[in-house]
Amino acid sequence: MPSIHESRAAKWGTSVFLAEWLANIFAYCTSSLEGKKAFWEWVVLQHGAERAKQELIQMTSNRPESSASSSSEKFFRLAAQEFGSSPSSFKCMVALELRAGTSELAMREYLNFALDTDACAPPRTQPAPRRFRGESMDDYRGENLADLKARRTQALLNGGQTPDIDWYVVRMIVFSEVDKAADTRGIWHNDFDIFMAKMTSLAPAMLLDRVVLQEGSPEREHFNQMELAFRSSTFLQSFSHMTWATFATLFPVFAMVGSSTAAIEAKYQKSDVFMWRLVATWSHVWYLCGQRWQRVLELVSGSEHYKAFFTRYRLTTGEIRVKPSREYLKTMGDKITELDRQVVEFIGGESDFWIESRFLDRLNELLKAHPDESSKFNKDVLEELGELETLVECKLQLFDTPFGRKLIAYAQTKDAKCMQDPSFLKYISLIDPDKLLWAKPEDTDWSYACTVTRSVGNTWRQLAVKRASMMHFYGLLEVLKKDLKSPKFEDIPANVDKAVADFAEEGRVVDPEDLTRVFLFAEAWGRADYDMGRACLELARPGPGMMGGLAHQFGVFQSSKGDDGAWQGPLGRMLQPHQRQELTDRSILPPGVKVAGLIEAYGLTSVEGTGLGLQQTVKERWEREESDDAEQEVDEKRDAQSEDKVEQSYRDWQLCNLDGWPGEEELSDVLPTQFKLGKKVVKVFHRILTQHESTMQSDTTKSSQVLRWPDFEKAMKRIGFTTTHTRLGTSVRFDAPAKGERPIAFNRPSPDPVLTATDIKWQVSVRPKQRV
């Protein structure tokens, strides 16, 4: 005789798994004290405390009386129909009969709760959804990704196992993001206009200290806001570089141990060294995601539309706290939209582990329903949401998969004795543990590695980034507006006169004021780089190569001058027009950068007054550490076999295939040298590839220097690139149709989908040239 679940499944055309799951969740949410509590906590997490109370009132009010047609029966039938037709929404759900004893809203929320938490699900016996045989890489990773996700959802509803970590997606994110972090700092160093425009745009949203506000000086407030914008941007950029660069070092090791999820899992269970390396990267991504969320809080709460919705203050640690302005919200009344309510609840509410993901999901849903409301977010907010979306996508892969859950659970069994393991601190940070500004453990720390990572973040912010100031530079810019020959510029006027003469010999006329700004700009970055370089020396753990390793880990520039004494960056281009060198390649591990030269550039010596004599290159240092790790991690036979196959460097992009991506071998090794393109596409690429040659042009408003983003995307697709959009579409990654080429990630221009001359010049023109 068939069970009640089998009968319901046959009656309503759904799976036995789903019928049993729905029965479990209905009983759990309506009859169990534990279930009621879990459901309520979930509602609070979804809507915030205030909104959750309103939801509960609506769920329990106007509830129809029960009758012969039971609530549970209606719940099962309607849920089965809904899942069978459209598992991603409940808009088409059949209206409940008045005889049902549970409100429609409550039933909808039970279903959402079940999908979101997987609570009370029966054992999943079906295999996890995978790519179909013959399905191309473009089908799987490109614009049809939504179809794949829908297929995965349907498989989960039918009892399929949760898909495991997607190493292909993780690898693409890691390498595209580490390049973006390095390129961002390079662009800031090399272009005065871009740097100043970015800092000036961010400054109004920066929350000032009370001491500055009490002084009541508008000029002082402006300079301090510019300084806060610089420091917070530098912190996020450098910590991003550290996070992704550290993660990138794992992929050659993955190739060594077998390039499969099962092999990696077996490896970390045998080697604590390898396990702590994984945990370190997990904790870095977790921390960086939280810092990006803090940046979103600051930018949204300080934006023109939403600044009146909140009250803000800053902690002594530098973190900000944002609370809703209840008085202002009362005055708004019915003018507040659902988007406004959700922004207030998320931005002004308590944070939790998945708050970033839930906010992005809700924001995506609301903006799709009301696209005109996207104008409430300025360009800086939309760009930051793009950065956050990429991090959340990676975080979901690391934490919301069977592999991630097992790794965390296993690491927690080692937490009690982690400080006794020398490999624990070694891989979480190159900063000397004795120099760390230790943070207190928090309830949200899923491992002691989180506590250490927060300590690293605090230390880097307070003892390195905070020392790198642009305040003097901003002040001199104000002087420049009034007096080009001011004695405060010291010997710069003489250098400007010489540079103007040099350009005249080349047959070119240059504005002396522009050159003065460039000299000041280079000098300011030289001071900032010097200060951060000294911090790296002071904070690095003792040992050969440690100072250089720390500097490269955080992507710190070494000097404003090269080994031959020639100026690099903006001065290299401006003052040596015959060379016209492009952006220096700031890949993760620039070859030939010697630590000894680094120390000489800073004029640093040891305590005894003698040179440190660290003649190792940074590359040698990393190779030595990888060699030490290999001795502990793999047996000699495997080492001998692997050394010929995998270069021990995190610059290595051409890695072995990983689980679930057998189609990658279908790609060529390199991009073709010729393409057959139409005239329109040729015009797009001609504009992109020649834009950088016009860096000295003052007119950047001509229509010929503007490119529509859709045209750029179409052109990239025409030469074989696939595009992967984030949920809100604020960030786009282009994956090359060649195994030897790295992906490139861009922030999609918002709110207008137009690439300006500046965008083309630095993001679209220079960055692909560095990669391909």
Q: Provide the percentage of residues in the chain whose pLDDT is more than 70.
A: 69
Mean pLDDT of the chain: 73
- Element containing residue 82 per DSSP (H, E): helix 71-85
Minimum mean pLDDT range among 145-149, 207-211, 373-377: 145-149
State whether residue 555 is helix, strand or coil. Answer: coil
- pLDDT average, residue stretch 554-580: 50
Q: In the prediction, which pLDDT does 562 show? A: 43
Q: Of 361, 390, 355, give the one whose Cα is nearest residue 240.
A: 390
**pLDDT value at position 753?**
80
Whole-prediction pTM: 0.74
723 and 713 Cβ atoms separated by less than 8 Å: yes
Average pLDDT over residues 136-165: 61
* Angle at which helices 261-270 and 402-414 cross, to 10°: 0
- The 3-state DSSP class for residue 716 equals helix
pLDDT score recorded for residue 417: 84
Q: Which residue has the tokens 């991630």?
A: 404
pLDDT band at 69 (very low <50, low <70, confident <90, very high): very low
Query: 406-459, pLDDT tens digit by residue?
Result: 999 899 898 888 888 887 888 888 898 899 999 888 877 888 899 999 999 999
Report the candidate in 30, 103, 101 with the shortest Cα–Cα distance to residue 65.
101
pLDDT tops 80 at residue 629? no
| Domain edges within the chain | 4-125+137-157, 467-666, 679-771
Q: Which DSSP symbol is given to 318?
A: S
Distance CA 152, CA 610 (A): 63
Element (H, E) at 296: helix 272-301
CB 120 within 8 A of CB 21: yes
Both tokens of residue 611?
Answer: 């040179």
Instruction: Give residue for tokens 């579409």.
Output: 729
Most confident of 11-20, 406-415, 570-579, 746-755: 406-415
| Token pair belonging to 352 | 């939790």
- Which residue type, as a one-letter code, is found at position 419? M
Q: What are phi and psi of 727, to 5 degrees?
A: -55, -45
- Mean of pLDDT values over 343-357: 83
560-572 average pLDDT score: 45
Question: Per-residue pLDDT tens for 216-262?
Answer: 678 788 888 999 999 999 999 999 999 999 999 888 888 888 768 88
Determine the pLDDT at residue 39: 86
Would you state the pLDDT for residue 163? 79
Q: What is the pLDDT of residue 602?
A: 32
Cα angle for residues 354, 286, 374 (degrees, 5° grid)? 55
**What average pLDDT does this structure show over 19-44?**
84
Burial of 412 (0-12, 13-18, 19+ CB in 10 A): middle
* pLDDT of the residue at 661: 44
pLDDT at 740: 66
